[in-house]
Structure 1
């Protein structure tokens, strides 16, 4: 089977408080959700009508079974999700203190996690080679054997041999708690940048990848590394994308922020959809920006991913046109 989107790597159970602006020590009730950035991106892409699968690992425990069940419920193929004996499925807690304070607490990821035990020989070469978009993250490079598995996946689809409708995305999601240092992360990122066509990150993540500088300077360095599209998130100023021929900026879509943690994953799934639909880059960014804003206005991540109808409605509300010919 050929998929529209295949993601690699991190999966976990997200435990989010039902009470807003309360410290975790004072929260009395929580909600349980599928989490982990690559898994969330696959869910988001599926919500937009893309055929999606995630290649990852869980523990052999009830939480692992819960995650597979949730993937299926969201329309994501779980056939490449296997169990690792002796390791527990990770759980992530967050506190929700809008508008900008959403600390994360990772449990079950140290010294390792099941998804970091993905091995090169376990990559389905044919699936990875044929998918339209392969999505991976910097977190997946933080430890072996996951690092080698990610590299193996990228090596079976050389950048210069991709079809016109194929793309390989690296989410520059640097998380310092998973790395010895920024320099150790930079070494691994720069190796993988040789194999991807699209790189996406905020200013801090881009700085780890290619050094400090203005967003334009960082985008130019990503392009110099060989990517075809460099996407730099600008925070309250929106998001910018650069290719060798154009530079486009999408202004933020104003919403009341409840939980900003899932906005980037929602952006990613919507971005994949827009790219696969062949929309102009500006419209891809507008659509992805709106999708991210919708999730930021909700508590959960995976369960909050919007449908195309919701995204189009928000775009129209703010005077932005839906991409010409878009029906879903």
Structure 2
């Protein structure tokens, strides 16, 4: 029998992450471990780990890195049928530089090599291809982030098309994910664009630093006043989160667990909350699930949970 449980579709670029074996400057590292990365892909993987059917709509290059990424999705039980293969453009990647913080935790800095990548070639045509169209028609939830519209004009047009589609019963989830380097020289435009997506979404995730950078305040209540449109608004920071469902407000502390490195934890947090919403949990229950899944991303230098 076909699986009729809710389907979550995540749209965005997948990347290969090269993670050094030791916390040291890149010039001192000889060994790097290959891993999957990309905000929306991380979220899809965490959703699958939470028992939610998930799929990715994206593009990769016709190269070894692209084949690795799609194989990883399948291994982690994420539908990769709508990942297009570009015969000309390469798969994007980034190199992570690790350093040890004063408390012994590992801090990560990303160095991106994604200009003119296959993922940057996302476009409205990507969404209307047969495999992607079929997934989107079934989706109970579509998740995107503020990274995609910064990649290229065509990727922004694809995201515009997703938000213009008001299919009844489908939630639109948006993680602000402000990347100043991608908006360099057009920061004001980026803020306007991301604000528009936030106001058009049903669920919005935003860290406090991103809230300050994009919306001019990191105060959750002031941010809620600025963004009354989304049903759910979540404002996160390392010590916890404030979540809104309409006028309901919940505040929760992060779980006290050892932190290896924090990159990717926000994507796992978003997946946990969305899994809670899709399975009918309350606001507090969804928030608790978000924190539990986020802890799994904090325990390694990979961007995604495994």
Q: Aligned pair 1:14/2:17, yes or no?
A: yes
Give unpaired runs (5+ residues) of structure 1. 306-328
Deviations, residues 9-40 of structure 1 (Å, cap 9, x unaligned): 12111111222x32222223221111111111
Shift in Å at residue 144 of structure 1?
A: 1.1
Partner Cα distance (1:185, 1:293) in 2: 30
1 or 2, which has the higher strand percentage? Answer: 2
Shift in Å at residue 259 of structure 1?
A: 1.3
Q: Normalized against structure 1, the TM-score is what?
A: 0.84
**How many residue pairs were aligned?**
293
Q: Which of 115, 136, 148 in structure 2 is aligned with 1:128?
A: 136
Partner Cα distance (2:292, 2:80) in 1: 28
SS of residue matched to 1:200: strand
Partner Cα distance (1:239, 1:36) in 2: 22
SS of residue matched to 2:135: helix
Shift in Å at residue 282 of structure 1?
A: 1.1
Cα RMSD over matched residues? 1.8
Task: Please tell me whether the aligned partners of residues 96 and 258 of structure 1 are also in contact (alpha carbons under 8 angstroms).
Answer: no
Shift in Å at residue 155 of structure 1?
A: 1.6
Give unpaired runs (5+ residues) of structure 2. none
Partner Cα distance (2:199, 2:219) in 1: 22
Q: Which of 207, 224, 234 in structure 2 is aligned with 1:202?
A: 207
Partner Cα distance (2:262, 2:71) in 1: 25
Shift in Å at residue 129 of structure 1?
A: 4.0
1:81 maps to 83
Partner Cα distance (2:112, 2:218) in 1: 30
Shift in Å at residue 126 of structure 1?
A: 4.7
Q: Normalized against structure 2, the TM-score is what?
A: 0.90
Partner Cα distance (2:134, 2:198) in 1: 22
Deviations, residues 186-245 of structure 1 (Å, cap 9, x unaligned): 12113323421011011222234432252221122122xx11111001222x01111332
Partner Cα distance (1:286, 1:125) in 2: 33
Q: Which of 49, 66, 69 in structure 2 is aligned with 1:67?
A: 69
1:50 maps to 52
Q: Aligned pair 1:118/2:122, yes or no?
A: yes
Q: Which of 251, 254, 260 in structure 2 is aligned with 1:252?
A: 254
Shift in Å at residue 251 of structure 1?
A: 0.3
Distance 1:289 1:12, change over 3 A: same
Shift in Å at residue 297 of structure 1?
A: 1.9
1:105 maps to 111
Q: Aligned pair 1:137/2:145, yes or no?
A: yes
